[in-house]
Amino acid sequence: MLKAKSYEEFLAGKKHGTVEYGLCINDDDIHPKLYTFQKAMVKWAVKKGSAAIFAGCGLGKTFMQLEWARLSGETSLIFAPLFVARQTIREAEKLGIEVNFCKDKSDIVIGVNITNYEKAQKFIDCDIDAIVLDESSILKSVDGKTRELLITGFNKVPRKLASTATPAPNDTSEIGNHAEFLGVMTRVEMLATYFVHDDGKWRLKGHAHNAFFEWMVSWGLFVNRPSDIGFDDDGYNLPPLKKEVILTDSDFKPEGVLFPALMDTIPGGLTGRTQARRKSIGHRVDEAIDRILETKGQFIIWTGLNLESGMMSARLKNKSISFVTVEGKDSDEEKADNIDIFLDGKVRVLITKVKIAGFGMNFQSSHNMIFLGMNDSYEMYYQAVRRQYRFGQKKQVNVFVIVSKPENCIIKNVFQKEEKAKLMSDKMADKFRGLEKDIFSQKPVNTFLYSNDVYQDDSFTAYLGDSVETMGEISDNSVDLSVFSPPFMSLYTYSATERDIGNCSSESDFFKHFNYIIKSLLRITKPGRRACVHVAQVAAMLSRDGFIGLKDFRGKTIQAFTDAGWHFFREVCIDKCPQAQAIRTKSKALLFTQMRKDSSWSGPALADYILTFRKPGENEIPIHPDITNEMWIEWARPIWYNIRESDTLNTREAKSNDDERHICPLQLETIERCIRLWSNKGETVFSPFMGIGSEGYMAAKLERKFIGIELKPEYYNVAVKNIKKATTTMQLTLDIK
């Protein structure tokens, strides 16, 4: 039997998260200009080796990533958006760090280097030992080719940092892409592990909620303010934010619409929206000029059409208001120079598009902005506002949104998304806050409460606990028969602990865990006696496995038992109703519509199997089944028919709200056949996965003793109740006789 320490090490390895392989540093190693909370985050990320810092705008991500780059590698490279690179070089000077701008890998020097994302292809296989993605949310917004380049092209770089503002709480793509870039887990693995695809969208599995957040804080810090990780918020309070929506007249008159201002949507899709925006440019520019004239300070004008930029420039020039434009057609140098002109306060107005300068830049030297129109992207709106509305901003930020009356439906849509995102972000922040404080207070991050208990009387013993550890208390060669159904590799279906054998990230890990059970089972079983294992084939999913079909769980279980020293003796197939299975599993292979649409995807229902394994050696006490010859003819068939799928104990009491699936206990008649065929009255039946006590219930009814183990308290309590009910019923029957 393996030592408990080895099992504990195995459980520790099952926890999803990153392995720390970075460097241990002290506060004194970090530049004194960084605040205490920033130093703590840098130390954590440097020690991790690969990590993400998701920090709110104005919390000092630039300083933190510069220090991480300096401390984590002899030669490091920062990827940044076009204008952010120049701003980062400026910020580095405040820390006394010289940052070298590179056009290709031949420019790289020992120390901290920086380049633009647009040049990423030129740095494949460059000689660096640390890499930073500044404004790493680009992993979800760039085209698939660039994203793949960043993830796979630099996968051999030993240390990595992703740095951006807190991601959207329901954006599985952004979170998954970050995890994949850092080498924590692929996006496909993340979805298969923690999510279920329902109704066209991904949702967290019930028991995976805490586990998912624990996994995320193992490699990423989600911080909206210093107090989120246990530090003081002094000096980190946002100023007031004033939003004003201005609706203008428009020449847009869609056919058949009497009142365009009351439309819930603009007809004609993207073409219709572009037309509506074009028809109101003059009215919107007039309103924008009025706001600039009546409001003090610099302005950023966010445009969406080149026509808007052109008309706005002409009107500003006519009013003798100084301005610069930053447009897509400009060279990189021209764009950066004009941004600097605005940042230096040499002009009053900057005209540009959100997709050009709305991500990563710090424009808090100004506090007024105008959206000269709006599209449906909440992300673009949020990012643009955060260029000014960020920690460090001392003045009220004024946001003017100017759209035509027919486009009011777009504003409503974006603001509804804003409210929803805020609610979700607040919930996410609450969840992370406690976990992250534990990180910095050196407390273990774990939300699953593991407990032990035991109920024992003359007829049965029920244990609450981990089967691997609890089986160590059972004597060698003491069990006459085992009957059980193991978990079928269904992550976070019924519990959220690494002790749950089903919670494994791979088939390999599942059978490593199951092997502890199989070997202990061999030890406690009497020579020549059976273990009856209920299995079914496991469906392969495109999102998790890359194909649709089956994985041979039955075959792998047989192999695992035989490798451990058991003899595979017999198996029986249990017939299943295809209609009932179609309703329960929603398998398209069983649908009439699929058969008629394309039968290449159609297939029969999945049967259950009872695999029987025999421990080597001679059986000392013959088994004499109390069955007739007619019953034996029926039970000796290779397929057991007419076993009602509903012939189970009541599961309603035990089911938790977080259970991802209905509890599916083994049918009582199946258990009855196993017990009557392969044990005598008065002998001991065992189950390492007791569930709600089905095997114990039938053992009691058939006058056998029972030992069972269950990990989940809700199931354990119901199991004890069910088995006690059966023993009481049997005692009353015997008393009557």
Count how many residues are written for the chain.
Answer: 737
**Percent composition of the chain: helix, strand, coil (DSSP 3-state, to 5):** 45, 20, 40
Q: Which of 233, 238, 237 has the alpha carbon at shortest distance from 36?
A: 233
In this model, does residue 497 exceed pLDDT 90? no
Minimum mean pLDDT among 19-33, 360-374, 626-640: which range?
19-33
Q: What are phi and psi of 54, to 5 degrees?
A: -100, 95
pLDDT of residue 580: 80
Rounded to a whole number, what is the distance in angstroms from the first to the last CA of the chain?
45
Q: What is the pTM of this model?
A: 0.66
The C-alpha atoms of residue 484 and residue 532 are separated, in whole angstroms, by 7
Q: Quick one: what percent of the chain has pLDDT higher than 70?
A: 86
Task: Give per-residue pLDDT as tens, 312-353.
Answer: 999 999 999 999 999 999 998 899 899 999 999 999 999 999
The C-alpha atoms of residue 629 and residue 570 are separated, in whole angstroms, by 20
Q: Are 169 and 432 in contact (CB under 8 A)?
A: no
The C-alpha atoms of residue 654 and residue 662 are separated, in whole angstroms, by 10
Minimum mean pLDDT among 86-90, 166-170, 263-267, 674-678: which range?
166-170
**Domain 453-736 - what CATH class?**
alpha beta
For residue 619, give every residue at least 6 positions away whose Cβ sits within 8 Å of its Cβ, in sequence order, or none: 526, 527, 528, 529
The C-alpha atoms of residue 135 and residue 146 are separated, in whole angstroms, by 14
Q: Are 205 and 172 in contact (CB under 8 A)?
A: no
In this model, does residue 30 exceed pLDDT 80? yes
Q: Which of 670, 673, 675 has the alpha carbon at shortest distance from 685?
A: 675
Q: Are 408 and 262 in contact (CB under 8 A)?
A: no
Q: Which of 591, 612, 621, 593 has the alpha carbon at shortest distance from 683?
A: 621
pLDDT of residue 35: 92
Minimum mean pLDDT among 20-34, 409-423, 641-655, 675-689: which range?
641-655
The C-alpha atoms of residue 199 and residue 202 are separated, in whole angstroms, by 8
The C-alpha atoms of residue 608 and residue 412 are separated, in whole angstroms, by 53
Structure tokens at 15: 């926890």
Task: Give per-residue pLDDT as tens, 270-301.
Answer: 677 777 788 889 999 999 999 999 999 999 99
Taking only Cα atoms into account, the Rg of the chain, rounded to an integer number of angstroms, comes to 33
Q: Which amino acid is at 46?
A: V
CATH code of the domain occupying 17-229: 3.40.50.10810
Per DSSP, 19 falls in state: P
- Residue entry with tokens 């299943």: 576
In this model, does residue 606 exceed pLDDT 60? yes
pLDDT of residue 352: 97
pLDDT of residue 447: 47
pLDDT of residue 737: 47
Q: How many helices, marked H, and strands, marked E, lie in the chain?
A: 26, 26
Q: Which of 447, 433, 390, 379 has the alpha carbon at shortest distance from 170?
A: 379
In this model, does residue 105 exceed pLDDT 90? yes
Alpha helices in 120-171, H assignment, sequence order? 138-141, 144-152
- Cβ–Cβ contacts within 10 Å for residue 272, how many? 15
pLDDT of residue 133: 95
Task: Give per-residue pLDDT as tens, 205-259.
Answer: 777 777 788 788 888 888 888 988 888 988 888 899 999 999 998 877 666 555 6
For residue 159, give every residue at least 6 positions away whose Cβ sits within 8 Å of its Cβ, in sequence order, or none: 22, 49, 50, 72, 73, 129, 130, 131
Arithmetic mean of pLDDT, 601-616: 94
In this model, does residue 1 exceed pLDDT 50? no
Arithmetic mean of pLDDT, 638-647: 91
Per DSSP, which regions of 172-329 are E strands?
Answer: 195-198, 201-204, 220-223, 241-248, 299-303, 323-325
**What's the distance, CA 119 to chain centroid?**
30
Q: Which of 553, 561, 491, 489 has the alpha carbon at shortest distance from 520?
A: 561
**Left, alpha or beta for 286 (phi > 0: left; psi -120 to 50: alpha)?**
alpha
pLDDT of residue 145: 77
In this model, does residue 733 exceed pLDDT 70? no
**Between 240 and 380, where is the model more confident?**
240
CATH code of the domain occupying 241-426: 3.40.50.300
Q: Quick one: what percent of the chain has pLDDT higher than 90?
A: 53
- Residue entry with tokens 């496909």: 188
**Between 100 and 548, where is the model more confident?**
100
pLDDT of residue 660: 46
Q: Are 718 and 654 in contact (CB under 8 A)?
A: yes
Q: Where are the domains of the chain?
A: 17-229, 241-426, 453-736
The C-alpha atoms of residue 177 and residue 193 are separated, in whole angstroms, by 15
Confirm whether 241-426 and 453-736 share one CATH topology: yes
Return the SS3 of 456. strand
The C-alpha atoms of residue 595 and residue 530 are separated, in whole angstroms, by 41
In this model, does residue 118 exceed pLDDT 70? yes
Per DSSP, 397 falls in state: E
In this model, does residue 416 exceed pLDDT 80? yes
pLDDT of residue 2: 39
**Between 682 and 204, where is the model more confident?**
682
For residue 469, give every residue at least 6 positions away whose Cβ sits within 8 Å of its Cβ, in sequence order, or none: 4, 7
**339 HSE (CA, 13 A, CB side):** 24
Task: Give per-residue pLDDT as tens, 545-602.
Answer: 778 888 899 999 999 999 999 999 999 999 988 888 777 777 778 888 888 999 998 9
Task: Give per-residue pLDDT as tens, 433-475.
Answer: 766 666 665 554 444 567 899 999 999 999 999 999 999 999 9
pLDDT of residue 445: 46
Q: Are 483 and 687 in contact (CB under 8 A)?
A: yes
Minimum mean pLDDT among 194-198, 341-345, 516-520: which range?
194-198
Q: What is the mean pLDDT of the chain?
A: 86
Split at pLDDT 50, 70, 90, the class of 45 is very high
Per DSSP, 682 falls in state: T
Q: Are 532 and 14 in contact (CB under 8 A)?
A: no
Structure tokens at 529: 């006696």
In this model, does residue 37 exceed pLDDT 50? yes
